[in-house]
Chain A
């Protein structure tokens, strides 16, 4: 498929064309069986995300945003098409190092305090050492939770939990962060703060970010805005004429 085709604007790279692609999705298709019917959710979605780039994906409820994110993360299998992380396809072994994920419902482990939740990401690779602990503490400090490291998730507010989740996503220095409506369970003010934090940290660490959101304001803060409609990704900004 040609990148000159306006309908495939999602595959276009931003200004930094020299940056390597950390994520490539080519003609991804996914459908689900619902009773007797087979519902096509994605019908050839294309996406390329370069290193350090932030991309937002918007779409109506049920348009397949979360499905796309699960496919991009390698948690689910595509029916057709390919997904590549850098040079190779997604695997569970690569996921811990390559990918950071942030969810709408935070998904912190309730038995672990904030610090241990962040360290959980590095535990997936190896037992954390002093350097890992220092990094986890540094990340928590950067998300403004230096004083709440020993607090359990139940002792944290929604915004604080999501900030712990952001720190966890960044713990292993991933090449790519996939954020699935990270502000969905937060009030507007807290949501704005979390998005600012996420974008700031991604930019600071030159980590690519794919942000699925309903919020146009949050989407506007990313380098590129995409719209998932009828199973296909279309560029909203830069415009198709880019």
Chain B
């Protein structure tokens, strides 16, 4: 090992242990890294959960009529889609807002009409039905989301009344207003507050009937084979179905504004929290500068022993690198530990502040999600180590500039 690396190690870890100055510097970097890991992972968790939720409820791709038109022959279109490489399964759907009422308690959910035979090939709906069963869904029944069922006080087996825009239109034409009576066949819970409080599921036939769609559908959800790029496959489908009056869009394209905001938030948090590392890097610089002043005569001695200025500089620069490296390792350990216990910490905090409901209401999730992307962790490690190494440059330059003779004479 070159002497300047050896001496850097010895100065940082005399007698094999952290010196006080080293411990403080490492801790500063570690705290920055910990917060970065925690925040990017939680933000990544939100993104990951939202992606899962979108794909689980919409599929990887969605085909709709151009200009909001309905699709007339869904079966024929599905047959054509099945021929396109990469398409694993497809299912038609119809959707719209309805007025739902149970014992004088109204709600205005988004009703999704699904083909019970095909839907599970694209959307794992059966997995989310926590009470009752998807198999029990027929043209006279409905599956409620959990928060809506709680809000209405409706249970499996109860009957709810549904008014569609078509019924309301007939009302305006002085026709008899007859709400549709539907039995609650099940209750589902996806884990996302918005979906769990505003969506209900019925059969496709019932939805077509309520909205007067006949045999047409609003769109077709598509599941792709694993590992395929959704945008590329959407482009391939559009190429194949050119002139058919339909357009395929990936889940990312459908939610691009939301995903952009999410990414922007994540980038902003990364940017802001990087300043913690930069501030701690200043403390590294300050400590190393003090070290240069304190060790001026030793620096002179190194020159007298045959050390070159660039080697002396390397000694201090390496100390900055080591502090950054050690701080990053400690920060990663602290960050992942905090990430592991995030829900316990949030629970303790919300209990302390009596704000359990706030988390669900504003953040959509019952638990704080966490998902660490490799590229985020690599970016954190690189940022932290590079910033800390750069922090050692100024002291290194000062040390290299010292003339041995003047250094040896210094008091």
Contacts and interface: CB of A to CB of B under 8 A. Distances in A.
Contacts, number: 61
A107 B307 CA distance: 15
B404 A75 contact: yes
Nearest to A127: B1
Given A111-B14, A123-B6, 6 more contacts: A70-B405, A75-B404, A75-B405, A92-B308, A93-B306, A103-B304
The size bracket of the interface on B is 20 to 34
Interface string B399-410: 000011100110
A98 to B, nearest CB: 9
10 contacts: A75-B303, A75-B403, A95-B306, A99-B306, A107-B297, A111-B11, A120-B7, A120-B305, A121-B305, A123-B3
Contact of A103 (B2, B11, B408): B408
A96 B303 contact: no
A105 B297 CA distance: 10
A73 interface: yes
A141 interface: no
Interface of B: 1-3, 6-7, 10-11, 14, 297-298, 300-301, 303-308, 403-405, 408-409
Nearest to A116: B10
Contacts of A76: 403, 405
B326 to A, nearest CB: 17
A73 B7 contact: no
A109 interface: yes
A125 B306 contact: yes
Interface in A18-50: none
Contacts of B3: 120, 123-124
A109 B299 CA distance: 10
A76 B403 CA distance: 8
Contacts of B297: 105, 107
A96 B11 CA distance: 22
A111 B308 CA distance: 20
A99 B306 CA distance: 9
A66 B300 CA distance: 14
Contacts of A116: 10
A96 B305 CA distance: 5
A75 B300 CA distance: 9
Interface in A60-119: 66, 70, 73, 75-76, 92-93, 95-97, 99, 101, 103, 105, 107, 109-112, 116
